[in-house]
Amino acid sequence: MTRHFFGDTVVLLGRSLRHVTRSPDTIITTAVMPIAMMLMFVYVFGGAIKTGSDSYVNYMLPGILLITVASGIAYTAFRLFMDMKGGVFERFQSMPIARSSVLWAHVLTSLAANLISLVVVVLVALLMGFRSAAGAPAWLAIAGILILFTLALTWIAVIPGLSAKTMEGASAFSYPLIFLPFLSSAFVPTDTMPGPVRAFAEHQPATSIVNAIRSLFTQQPVGTDIWTALAWCVGILIVAFAFAMRTYRRKIS
């Protein structure tokens, strides 16, 4: 049964990846908006923002990476919505394949596409002056956090992708997720914010994830931030996965 599931997932993953490679503009679009934000914040606002960091691009890159993922998962919801409306799920149900492999193929496609977008954003940041003395273990830890974050947000995207009534509704859910890093320590220190905003910023997922990645980039002690970040990512992933599978079972029943 397990071999059947993995085999079906690999086949359907190939199908989803072919769709992405035939429309590379989705990956380009995903990377363009965060890159534009990075250019604007560094070259327009960076000189006026005091962060205590020698390089503003070093300070704000972790937040831009989260925005890149939040932008990319909108396409996952869009692709799922199109498959639902196109009757693809109904056709797959008539075949001897593992039902959950359809969802996993979309999720893994999202992970692959977002990782490509993240690499593109980091390369542009390097051209803009980003530098990090982090070693291989720190980079692996950063990659692990971003992979968990991507999986968590992708499973959130599955829910509107399956249940939305319109194409716009399927992808619009990502807007609050894109906005969330702006209310965190991604672009300015939280101690510069008004009281209520600061309280929210310091106790929402983006801040702990940004702080953990920033500390790893700069080889600073991560403290409890990395464990808080992992707890947020794993918690969101578990809850989103449960709701997504429940929604999927209801749709195909």
pLDDT by residue (tens digit) across 216-232? 998 888 888 999 999 99
**Total of domains in the chain:** 1
The answer to whether the Cα torsion of 24, 27, 30, 36 is positive or negative is negative
pLDDT at 14 over 80: no
pLDDT at 96 over 60: no
Count of CB atoms within 10 A of residue 229's CB?
23
Rounded to an integer, the average pLDDT of 80-100 is 66
For 250, residues 6+ apart whose C-beta sits below 8 A from its C-beta are: none
pLDDT at 3 over 60: no
Domain limits for position 29: 2-252
Cα–Cα distance list, 202 to 64, 190, 193 (Å): 18, 7, 10
Are 63 and 181 in contact by the 8 Å Cβ rule? The answer is yes
Which comes out higher in pLDDT, residue 162 or 155?
155
Question: Model's pTM, two decimal places?
Answer: 0.88
The average confidence (pLDDT) of the chain is 83
pLDDT band at 21 (very low <50, low <70, confident <90, very high): low
pLDDT tens for residues 123-144?
A: 999 999 898 888 899 999 999 9
pLDDT at 59 over 60: yes
pLDDT at 102: 76
